[in-house]
Amino acid sequence: MTLQQPYIESAMNAGDEILGPALSLGLGEQVAIIDGAETLTYSGLDQRANRFGNALRARGVMPEARIMFLLEDSADLAAAYIGTLRIGAVAIAYNRMAVERDLLFTINESRASFLLVEADTVATIEALLPKIQHPCSLIVRGQYNGDHLPLQTVLEESSSTPVSISMSPDDMAFWIYTSGTTGKPKAAVHLHHDVIVSDLHLRENLRVQPGEKILCTSKLFFAYPLAHGLFAGLRCGATLILFDGWPTPERTGELVATHRPDLLFSVPTFYRKLLQGGIAEGDAFKTIRCCVSAGEQLPETLFSEWQATTGNPIYEGIGTTETLILFIVNKPDAYKPGASGRVVPWAEVRLTNEQGETIDTPDTPGVAWLRMPSVCDRYWNRQDMTRHAFSGVWYRTGDIFSFDAQGWWYHQGRADHMLKISGQWVSPSEIECCALTVADIAEAAAVEAPNREGSTQIVLFLEPKQPIADHQALVQQVRETLRNQLAHFKCPQDLRIIDEVPRTATGKVQKYKLQQLLEENVSAS
């Protein structure tokens, strides 16, 4: 496969790269963002971004200074983010509902000089101020009468004159914190040139046109919506539908019915909730042109149920915080249920075995290594992890894949989640997808645990769709399904009903929490 590298100017600015394509096409009066409070055109977004950049610059913010956003998804967040990039500072969008421990950790690690917060978050941040280890100022969005800077005042007092400065393509532009499937989050450091390829999947594979509407159910502090919504959507001249609060199936149903998006970006867990609540049965869901899924493997059963309900397929893809964008995708003219997709032309993926040797044989699982222009530069303050994950131009994803003779790739799970039973590698996702074929199972998660003989066994956690009285009957039904479809060494010895499988906000299973649960049970016994 020939890797297509984008042409990169010797000087550039990621903020201009996000809005520049649409503005150069004369789309200034077209709607860029719809949120719950306002509708903002591309020209309006451009001017507000400049006002914010000028406001920060007037307050002494220099290139590579970190600015952290603890804001609702909104036109203000989009403008502040782009304005920060334009003055060469580093934008960091973070979950404003994160626990205080994580908030304090990320503020201190980033040394953010300004925090943009919602008015209802001020008290929480003020309580943390004595523990923040560097000078830090607050800018507050919303109704506020305190001592910190109100965002509205900051913007009104600033000029909308162009603010962009030339940056090296290799300068820091933004950080994205991982979603924490393995515990403590880490920041992926992305550079200015990373945004240049962000729109290729939307533009070349999904054929997104100016004026089409995009709805992402995940929030902008995650890489998936940040890259494919804020970056790619705006580069394509599309209209982003943003909303405050945490996504719920009911709220999403209202947004789809009101705004009629052309593209929906979500995760399998949320697609399943839309189906279970009957919300996907609404007529508006049948008018969506492209439904895209990422974040975890999309079970074939979910694909089939969604298509039967809405008439639309779901185009699965896979990407990571480190890659920014999807690198293996399904698309309207080439998709296969059960497959992660095919490698995009602007990426190169190779598999290696346990000895580090390249795998060229179809249907042979291995660890995926990736090279692509949007891969992050490093992890901030994580030298050991950086050295483990990055080798020259290659990034070790930590994901296990296989590919078939037709070039379709299949995600087998995380390398640190793969199970080795009786000397043979077992993919937990294969077990989980098999369990999900049982109609009463909503979620399934397979982990490895020690048994009484001192070896290891597979434990499968099962979350029923509805509370049930007879756990044993459901366990037996799942056990028989697994025995009929899987090799004997892949069948879990221990099946457990659980109220809810723990997940991150993006829907990824937190298997380390299930391991902790098993360890606690062992200690208690």
Encode pLDDT of 123-177 as tens digits.
999 999 999 999 999 999 999 999 999 999 999 999 999 999 999 999 999 999 9
CB 400 within 8 A of CB 415: yes
Q: What is the dihedral of CA 320, 321, 327, 333, to 10 degrees?
A: 90
Q: Which helix (H) or strand (E) holds 69?
A: strand 66-70
What does the alpha-carbon distance between residue 279 and residue 281 come to, in Å, rounded to a whole number?
Answer: 5
Identify the band that residue 511 occupies on the pLDDT scale cut at 50, 70 and 90.
confident
Question: C-alpha 241: how far from its chain's center?
Answer: 17
Average pLDDT over residues 87-110: 94
Encode pLDDT of 244-297 as tens digits.
999 999 999 999 999 999 999 999 989 999 999 999 999 999 999 999 999 888
| Cβ contacts of 501 within 8 Å, gap of 6 or more | 443, 444, 445, 461, 463, 509, 514
What does the alpha-carbon distance between residue 307 and residue 325 come to, in Å, rounded to a whole number?
Answer: 25
What's the chain's average pLDDT? 91
Average pLDDT over residues 173-201: 87
In angstroms and rounded to an integer, the radius of gyration of the C-alpha atoms of the chain is 23
pLDDT of residue 254: 97
DSSP state of 418: -
Choice between 488 and 45, residue whose per-residue pLDDT is larger: 45
Residue with tokens 């049965």: 281
Identify the band that residue 181 occupies on the pLDDT scale cut at 50, 70 and 90.
very low
Q: Is 42 exposed, middle or buried (0-12, 13-18, 19+ CB in 10 A)?
A: buried
pLDDT of residue 2: 45
Tokens of 405: 């003779």
pLDDT of residue 52: 97
Identify the band that residue 234 occupies on the pLDDT scale cut at 50, 70 and 90.
very high
**Among the listed ranges 83-97, 291-305, 496-510, which one has the minimum average pLDDT value?**
496-510
pLDDT of residue 525: 47
**Among the listed ranges 20-24, 86-90, 507-511, which one has the minimum average pLDDT value?**
507-511
Is residue 310 predicted with pLDDT exceeding 70? Answer: yes
pLDDT of residue 179: 60
Is residue 336 predicted with pLDDT exceeding 60? Answer: yes
Q: Where are the domains of the chain?
A: 417-524
pLDDT of residue 521: 62
Identify the band that residue 98 occupies on the pLDDT scale cut at 50, 70 and 90.
confident
Tokens of 161: 């004159």
Encode pLDDT of 396-415 as tens digits.
998 889 999 999 999 987 77
Identify the band that residue 454 occupies on the pLDDT scale cut at 50, 70 and 90.
low
CA-closest candidate to residue 463, choices 504, 512, 439, 499: 499
Q: Which helix (H) or strand (E) holds 329?
A: strand 328-329
Tokens of 288: 């969506």
Average pLDDT over residues 384-399: 93
| Cβ contacts of 384 within 8 Å, gap of 6 or more | none
pLDDT of residue 426: 75
State the pTM of this model.
0.84
Is residue 523 predicted with pLDDT exceeding 70? Answer: no
Is residue 227 predicted with pLDDT exceeding 70? Answer: yes
Is residue 9 predicted with pLDDT exceeding 60? Answer: no
Percentage, residues of the chain above pLDDT 70: 92
Encode pLDDT of 421-441 as tens digits.
655 667 788 899 899 999 899
Neighbours of 387 (CB within 10 A): 11
Neighbours of 318 (CB within 10 A): 23
Residue with tokens 């060494």: 489
Pick the CATH number of 417-524 from 3.10.620.30, 3.40.50.11720, 3.30.420.40, 3.30.300.30: 3.30.300.30
Average pLDDT over residues 474-495: 88
